[in-house]
Structure 1
Amino acid sequence: MSSENKPTAAVPELSYRQQHKKSFKRILRWIWGIFILGFVSVFSLFAYLSTQLPSFDQLENPQLRLASEVYSSDGELLGKYYIENRTLVTYDSIAPAVVNALVSTEDARFYSHSGIDPEALARVLVKTIVFQQRNAGGGSTISQQLAKLLVGRPDTRGMGSVERLWTILQVKLKEWLTAVKLERSYTKKEIITNYLNEFDFLYNAHGIRSAAETYFQKKPSELTIPEAAMLVRMLKNPALFNYRRDMKKALKGREVVLKNMQMAGHITEADYHKYRKEKINKGSFQVLNHNEGQATYFREYLREYVKEVLSRPENLKPNGEAYDVYRDGLKIYTTIDSRAQRNAEQAVWDHLSEHQEKLFKHWKDWNMIDPPIGYSKYNPWTYKTHKNTEAEIQLRLRALDRLIWNSERYQAVREDYLKTAAKYELRDVDISRLQTLERANKKRSKKEQAEAVLAGWEKDGYATKKQIVLYRDLLKSGKWETIKGEYQELLKYMQTPVDMRIFAYQKNGEHWGPGTKDTLMSPLDSIRYHRMFLQTGSVSIEPQTGHVKAWVGGIDHHYFKLDHVSMGGLYVHPNKQRPGQTYTKAGRQVGSSMKPFLYALNIDLRGYSPCYEVEDVKITIEKGYGDFGLIKNWTPKNANGKYSGQRLTLTQALRQSLNSVSAQLMKDLGSTERFRSFLHEAGIDTAKVPASPTICLGTPDLTPLEMAAAYCIFANKGIYNEPVFVERIEDRHGNLIYNSADQITQQVLSESSAYVMSQMLKSVQAGAPGFQGIKSTYGGKTGTTNFQADGWFMGVTPNLVVGTWVGCDDRFIRFRSLRYGQGGSMARPIFQNVLRYLEADEAFELDTKAKFPEPERIDREMNCLKYAQFGRGDTFDEEGEDMTNQDEIYNQDYDDLEAAEAPKKQPKKKPQQPPSNEEGSR
């Protein structure tokens, strides 16, 4: 039989049990596979997410997020520098009420769970998800909420539903992992502290400390139970439960927290009802910013100074990076005394608020629209005398144009108005030049017509060839008429009154202070109005240490940003200036306040007594004389143009501030170098002091800071101490970064010469009005520059030197009267106020019995009756100026002004010759 016909063996069928067993094994393999895959997937997911968790270092050292704090020498917080206004606090510095409110409201089982609360999660699952109960409460613990702040929530807008779900799942898992990690590594107190330090309470209040300061002007340790309850409710939603936005919701939210505290046993039911009715003081709210508080100008200056200090190689971090003043949580301990600062600011406001009224009256047409050129009475921008040229007036008007162009209102609408100008990419200065060319074409002289002007611009490099071609084409094509019309419409807008808020002095009780006023005013008038204000730079220094105790850089930092103590620049002692760094070369002319340095140098070199006699006669330093390098003779004049011919003591000559005597003392030196070297030793940057004999009359532009530091030598035995603003800087852990140990100290004058000068300065001010009732020993010197653009007073006491400048930012806005514009009227009253207020401030404890240091042996005669027959006394008039002092000589311009304002029957004063613009220091 063939194999093909052989019968096939029957295959037995599997039993049901066998088939079920085989299927079970297959299913079991699938289950195990899914389980293992799921386990591996979950493990991999957790492993992956764990690599993205915030490190513990990020919690303990939240770099790039901590505010640096500035402290006064008496322990007051002056201000902060920050990107986020956050200052870390410890658990012990938080009021217990805050902790109790937080735990009872946000996480009742906080002390028993390990980061995740299963009971809370179950409640969320059943009540919130299954039964859709919105008020069932959340499931996040305090640890999870801290983890949420550290992990952060991504923006899911624009994502699909699957992507959004996956993103949220990842974030939640990260939060859980981080919460568990926190619980394993930190105590419960540390978790609470870090959470409160991290939270953003809005209004730039990052963390519990800033929140307590912003909403209640308190420290966290001072918060009451109702205040703590309100802040804790804000943790739920700082915008919803914020009393600044919705008082009713804030009170309702606070009530919820108080009820939770009652249920947890932290307060009684009676306490609950009492606290829920307590009102919130909205007046305690204060957004912390750089324009508020004390020493605003100093803090702004200090910001740049600290940056410079921290950039030095010796002050870098161990890794070579520079500390960040905005993020590294530094502690900056300054020499400023908050009590001296407060009184110095008040001294400025009380005097200048009164003196400002006189200036507005002086220029009562300050806001006249388009006054004619040469309008010489009441408008400072067009005021003209026989000494002014039309070009000078045009410079004033161009300066006003630049202020208009740079104003926010002008910039906000410029593109809307100047559409044609925009097509040709014309700047505002280009439009101004086209106006100049148009005026030139209207003049008769061919030399002054537009083509001649364009040729001059091209020759001088004032305009490029491309610009000149454009100007010529616009004038010829007629497009200029369109541009001019648009520009005129824009200026018309700037001249249209609108509602605005402006600076104005306000009286509070007996004293004045900066404030605001709502008014209807055009943007142009607003610009001119704010330029009319007298500004000041006043700095107080302790002569024995060089420590700066008060710094008033202006009248209100919110409206007037320029710091007039440093004149907007960074001061570093000349010997410490580094190559490549830029330091201030700005300043204002110091006038006769420079003269005591010249007297001091001659007294020191020659051993003069203050009774040494000099003649008030005409002095000439001839061309080629000594090492002055003059190319022509120089003969300074006294302010009245006269010389008495009398023999006067040095004290009398300094008191009368005679230019003739200063010229003689300068001539005796034989060159300017001795004087410039002396000034350098006294801390003045001689790069700003020209090698010209005119410096003896105060022609250099210097700052109040430089001058005050140099004057300290007269009260400190002739020793110069470099001014110090910062005692030390520490990192957030208290490690020292910088201190003032490298302060420059050097003997500039002999002790005897310093004592002579202190007595002379004391005598110069003896009998001056305004000092009535002041107990302290004092002296000083005024300074007034040409046309009263600058008024100075350098006040000296045994323990404090106060240097003060007063003037307007535009030098042509000034008093035309020496009666009001001299240093004795503008600046000296500030010094007098400082002394008066400090003496009355018991907290400051000014030593009113202190005397200028007297050397053990005085090597020159101080008694002029013994030295020689005393010639005469000096008397002051009712306005406080020496009757023989050049500062009492009135300007020709002011005589005209007074005559115009006087009744018709009143005879005009006979005009006197104005002081020389060349010599001009008073």
Structure 2
Amino acid sequence: MQGIKKILSKIKPPFLRYFFVGIAGFLVLTVIFVGSIYLGAWGSVPNKKELSNFQYQVASEVFTADSVLIGKYYLNDRQPITFDEFPEHLLQALISIEDERFYEHSGVDYPSLFRVGIKTILLGDESSGGGSTISQQLAKNLYPRRDRKQTNIVVDKIKEMIIAGRLEDIYDKNEILTHYLNTVSFGDNTFGIESAALKFFNTRTKNLSVEQAATLVGMLKATYGYNPRIFPEKSRERRNLVLSTMVKNNFISKTEYDALKQLDIGLDYRDYDYSSGLAPYFREEVRKQLLEWTKTQNEEGKEYNIYTSGLKVYTTLNYKMQQLAEQSMVEHMGRLQSDFEKSYGKNAPWLTDKNLIKTVARRSTAYKNLKKEGFTDDEIFDSLQHSKRKMTITSWEEETEKELSVMDSIQHYMKFLNTGSISLNPKTGEVLTWIGGVDFKQFKYDHISQSKRQVGSTFKPFVYTAALEQGIEPCTYFSAQEVEYENLKGWSPSNSGDIDEAYLNYSMEEGLSKSVNTIAVKVMEKTGVDEVLALAKKMGIEERLPSEPSIALGTGEIKLIELAKAYTSYMNEGRSVKPLLIKTITTQQDSLLASFEPKKSENAAFSAENGQIMMEMMKSTINSGTASRIRSTYKLSNDIAGKTGTTQNNKDAWFVALSPNLLHVTWVGLDHHEIGFRNTSIGQGANAALPMYALLLQKMNKDEQFNHITRARFPAPSGRVQEMLDCEPIKRDGFFKRLFKNPNKKKTRKFKGQD
């Protein structure tokens, strides 16, 4: 200490002595300050062991059966990749603009720091940059700054320098680059170069062009300000700056630069958002099933999280077919919506029925929230009607922004027809297309897996199958005359009202193909209600159905997915197969975690022969029955069997189509049960539901990749089956029977088997 004092006393003049004392004091304080950060006085600094074992939060990916990425589940959208998957020009662009001396420093570039300090602090040149190396930026990616106060920024900077040094001790330069490019943010909740390449250019990192790589690297300085989706021109300028630094570092030639800088950004943006993209309802159902799987796995001690574990989920969905199905849905539903609204005109219930509008409003979240706060009905409806704000309103033509009240919005969406539509391989249950509704953003409710609706005449095949199982011959004739059943409170199922029907007797095949209600009820009566319900259960219907004769007309409410499962029985000799959505689940490195096989019912619900008879009956529905517009209007010659369905008051329209390698089910109706189609001509299954299938099949017929579906042929029925069905479709009452029958008078009797 005395020696230091002697040295200082020799320094003249005194202000120099004080200057050196100040410098020495500053250095001592700096060493103490840095040392205190190093020792954790300002918060812990991760040690080498921790840095050696950090784990990414990795998004799980959803693929179609043909390995097309259609969605992700994530907290942070990230898919890590290996160093080998980085194209050389990507690394060159990164190093050129972010850290030219990357291969020369050991985590901290002190000459660069000194340069930045002089220019920024002393000269006020903010364009000099931040001086952080890629290793320091990696440290910041792994341990984001918590506080933006000036004092804490200094602490954070020093922490990042310490962490960067430790990272350089643990990892080689290629590993540093790999970790950096897998963790860095690109905005739009996108982390890592692979997710950014997919989102902004719809390509994998390994396929990025020079200019695409430069665009993404350019975003790193300001992920919002240089986002090509938001600011394309600024992004282009920044990209060209990155390219110019690549010229400066001899990575590309001046000639290449001159050509590349002229190019547009060429954005091909794909947002793997929950509500958008292909098959959103399908992806949501997969998510639910995946959560159930992870719950089971975690109970066994395995730690899987669908949002962070980087699972790869390979589904059964056919990418091209789903595209065609969605196109067909938009094409048909847009046209049907227009016809539907025109049919009501100015007297539409969503415009004039105040009680109905209020009933629907009471189901809304806005109403329920105000009710919870203690407001009266009058106060709530006053608020919902008069408080207006800007809303984006969707229609089949466009999206528009308007000043609307909540009640305006409710009335707008009340009128929307909705749909549920599924296609699957009837032999394996593998789901090929899944459309749960018309717009996932507006209508989250899935009409395949969640909605229960009356199924109308699509239930009739179960009645007829049960009849065959009870030994009733397919050429048994039933009178079409309307009957009033005394023991069923005067219930009197009717047909179209054609007076001549009182004289007609239908074979089972003709009764089913023409979907004659009076025939279905009489077949049910002869078979037995309990026998029909028991068969439906064996075929895969899990819903508890009412034990009433009206079930013959499809008054029971069933989920679409259950109806599809039941119909697979006709393609599997009486054994139903459960719809299958997920085939395999793997790790990010493609190690198999789980695989799923088709699940068929153990026992057949009906005989193979009766199954053949039913298929022949349902072929008649297509060729000459209620679904004959498949042939006449849509000119489809494919092998098809099927059944239409329309419920009471035209509330629900259905169509089921079966072909050798495809089962398709469509429902169309409104979410609000109070509103139905104005008339049967619009609301019948053949008009409201069938076209979605017909349009899809027309598109598939034009694409050779679907030949295994479109050109498949049903096997010929056995000679015995053909003989059993060889009878006149309709028999007319004889002269004397017609003479003494009053067609205007209902026949009255009791329904057999009912108390």
TM-score bracket, shorter-length normalisation: 0.7 to 0.9
Q: 1:191 to 1:356 in 2, by over 3 A?
A: same
How far did residue 134 of structure 1 move?
A: 3.9
Once the two structures are superposed, the pairs formed by residues 234-273 of structure 1 within 5 Å of their partners are 234-273=219-258
Instruction: Determine the structure 2 residue equivalent to 1:71.
Output: 63
Q: 1:294 to 1:245 in 2, by over 3 A?
A: closer
CA distance in 2, matches of 1:797, 1:260: 61
CA distance in 2, matches of 1:806, 1:791: 5
- TM-superposition CA deviations, 1:869-919 (whole Å, max 9, x none): 55479xxxxxxxxxxxxxxxxxxxxxxxxxxxxxxxxxxxxxx99xxxx9x
Q: Is the 8 A contact 1:764 1:779 kept in 2?
A: yes
SS at match of 1:847: helix
CA distance in 1, matches of 2:85, 2:466: 56
Instruction: Determine the structure 1 residue equivalent to 2:22.
Output: none
The counterpart of 2:55, out of the listed 40, 62, 68, is 62
How far did residue 590 of structure 1 move?
A: 0.5
CA distance in 2, matches of 1:299, 1:56: 39
CA distance in 2, matches of 1:728, 1:734: 10
CA distance in 2, matches of 1:491, 1:108: 60
Q: Is the 8 A contact 2:482 2:502 kept in 1?
A: no
CA distance in 1, matches of 2:701, 2:666: 19
How far did residue 329 of structure 1 move?
A: 1.7
CA distance in 2, matches of 1:712, 1:85: 38
CA distance in 2, matches of 1:381, 1:118: 72
Once the two structures are superposed, the pairs formed by residues 177-196 of structure 1 within 5 Å of their partners are 177-196=162-181
Q: CA RMSD in A?
A: 3.7
Which one-letter code corresponds to 1:311 in the other structure? K
The counterpart of 2:578, out of the listed 701, 722, 727, is 722
Instruction: Determine the structure 1 residue equivalent to 2:298.
Output: 316
- TM-superposition CA deviations, 1:227-247 (whole Å, max 9, x none): 211221221222333344544
Once the two structures are superposed, the pairs formed by residues 473-492 of structure 1 within 5 Å of their partners are 490=383
In the alignment, structure 1 residue 544 sits paired with structure 2 residue 408: no
In the alignment, structure 1 residue 651 sits paired with structure 2 residue 509: yes
In the alignment, structure 1 residue 616 sits paired with structure 2 residue 564: no
In the alignment, structure 1 residue 677 sits paired with structure 2 residue 677: no
CA distance in 2, matches of 1:309, 1:648: 50
Q: Is the 8 A contact 1:69 1:80 kept in 2?
A: yes
How far did residue 118 of structure 1 move?
A: 3.9
Q: Equivalent pairs: percent with the same residue?
A: 31
How far did residue 94 of structure 1 move?
A: 3.0
Residue range with higher mean Cα deviation, 270-279 or 126-135: 126-135
Instruction: Determine the structure 2 residue equivalent to 1:841.
Output: 703
Q: 1:729 to 1:622 in 2, by over 3 A?
A: farther
The counterpart of 1:402, out of the listed 362, 369, 378, is 362
In the alignment, structure 1 residue 564 sits paired with structure 2 residue 564: no
Q: 1:169 to 1:841 in 2, by over 3 A?
A: same
In the alignment, structure 1 residue 597 sits paired with structure 2 residue 462: yes
> Any stretches of 5+ residues in structure 2 without a counterpart?
10-26, 733-744
Instruction: Determine the structure 2 residue equivalent to 1:120.
Output: 112
Q: Is the 8 A contact 1:53 1:174 kept in 2?
A: no
SS at match of 1:806: strand
Q: 1:589 to 1:37 in 2, by over 3 A?
A: closer
Which one-letter code corresponds to 1:228 in the other structure? A
- TM-superposition CA deviations, 1:301-354 (whole Å, max 9, x none): 322232123222xx2276455x32222222111111111111111121111211
SS at match of 1:794: strand
Once the two structures are superposed, the pairs formed by residues 346-745 of structure 1 within 5 Å of their partners are 346-365=327-346, 377-379=347-349, 394=355, 396-402=356-362, 406=366, 426-427=374-375, 431-432=376-377, 490=383, 493=386, 500-506=391-397, 515-518=398-401, 523-567=406-450, 586-606=451-471, 610-617=474-481, 636-638=493-495, 640=497, 644-672=502-530, 674-687=531-544, 689-741=545-597, 743-745=599-601
Residue range with higher mean Cα deviation, 302-311 or 126-135: 126-135
In the alignment, structure 1 residue 788 sits paired with structure 2 residue 650: yes
- Specify the structure having the higher radius of gyration (Cα): 1
Which one-letter code corresponds to 1:724 in the other structure? L
CA distance in 2, matches of 1:103, 1:501: 44
Q: Is the 8 A contact 2:460 2:553 kept in 1?
A: yes
Instruction: Determine the structure 1 residue equivalent to 2:157.
Output: 172
Q: Is the 8 A contact 1:339 1:843 kept in 2?
A: no
How far did residue 41 of structure 1 move?
A: 9.4
SS at match of 1:781: strand
Q: Is the 8 A contact 2:505 2:731 kept in 1?
A: no
Residue range with higher mean Cα deviation, 221-230 or 741-750: 741-750
The counterpart of 2:629, out of the listed 759, 769, 782, is 769
How far did residue 42 of structure 1 move?
A: 7.1
CA distance in 1, matches of 2:721, 2:232: 75
How far did residue 846 of structure 1 move?
A: 4.2
CA distance in 1, matches of 2:239, 2:313: 37
CA distance in 1, matches of 2:129, 2:380: 62
CA distance in 1, matches of 2:467, 2:425: 26
SS at match of 1:720: coil
Q: 1:56 to 1:556 in 2, by over 3 A?
A: farther
- TM-superposition CA deviations, 1:76-107 (whole Å, max 9, x none): 11111122222222223333221110012222
Q: 1:39 to 1:123 in 2, by over 3 A?
A: closer
Instruction: Determine the structure 2 residue equivalent to 1:879.
Output: none
Q: 1:526 to 1:302 in 2, by over 3 A?
A: same
How far did residue 811 of structure 1 move?
A: 2.2
- TM-superposition CA deviations, 1:46-66 (whole Å, max 9, x none): 354896317767776635x32
Q: 1:749 to 1:200 in 2, by over 3 A?
A: same
Which one-letter code corresponds to 1:344 in the other structure? A
Normalising by structure 2, we get a TM-score of 0.84
- TM-superposition CA deviations, 1:404-446 (whole Å, max 9, x none): 6727xx98xx7xxxxxx99xx533xxx33xxxxxxxxxxxxxx
The counterpart of 1:343, out of the listed 324, 340, 344, is 324
Which one-letter code corresponds to 1:590 in the other structure? V
CA distance in 2, matches of 1:355, 1:763: 26
Q: 1:402 to 1:57 in 2, by over 3 A?
A: farther
Which one-letter code corresponds to 1:565 in the other structure? I
In the alignment, structure 1 residue 52 sits paired with structure 2 residue 45: yes
Which one-letter code corresponds to 1:171 in the other structure? D
CA distance in 2, matches of 1:129, 1:405: 55
Number of aligned pairs? Answer: 709
- TM-superposition CA deviations, 1:752-785 (whole Å, max 9, x none): 2222211111111104124343232011111111
Instruction: Determine the structure 2 residue equivalent to 1:581.
Output: none
- TM-superposition CA deviations, 1:366-403 (whole Å, max 9, x none): xxxxxxxxxxx5435756xxxxxxxxx84x24323325
Once the two structures are superposed, the pairs formed by residues 743-762 of structure 1 within 5 Å of their partners are 743-746=599-602, 747-762=604-619
Once the two structures are superposed, the pairs formed by residues 852-863 of structure 1 within 5 Å of their partners are 852-854=714-716, 859-862=720-723
The counterpart of 1:294, out of the listed 274, 278, 281, is 278
Instruction: Determine the structure 1 residue equivalent to 2:17.
Output: none
Question: Quick one: higher RCO (CA 8 Å, sep 6+), 1 or 2?
Answer: 2
CA distance in 2, matches of 1:42, 1:500: 54
SS at match of 1:102: helix
CA distance in 2, matches of 1:806, 1:522: 28
CA distance in 1, matches of 2:381, 2:66: 56
How far did residue 488 of structure 1 move?
A: 7.3
Residue range with higher mean Cα deviation, 296-305 or 729-738: 729-738
Instruction: Determine the structure 1 residue equivalent to 2:14.
Output: none
CA distance in 2, matches of 1:404, 1:725: 32
SS at match of 1:564: coil
CA distance in 1, matches of 2:667, 2:51: 49
In the alignment, structure 1 residue 827 sits paired with structure 2 residue 689: yes
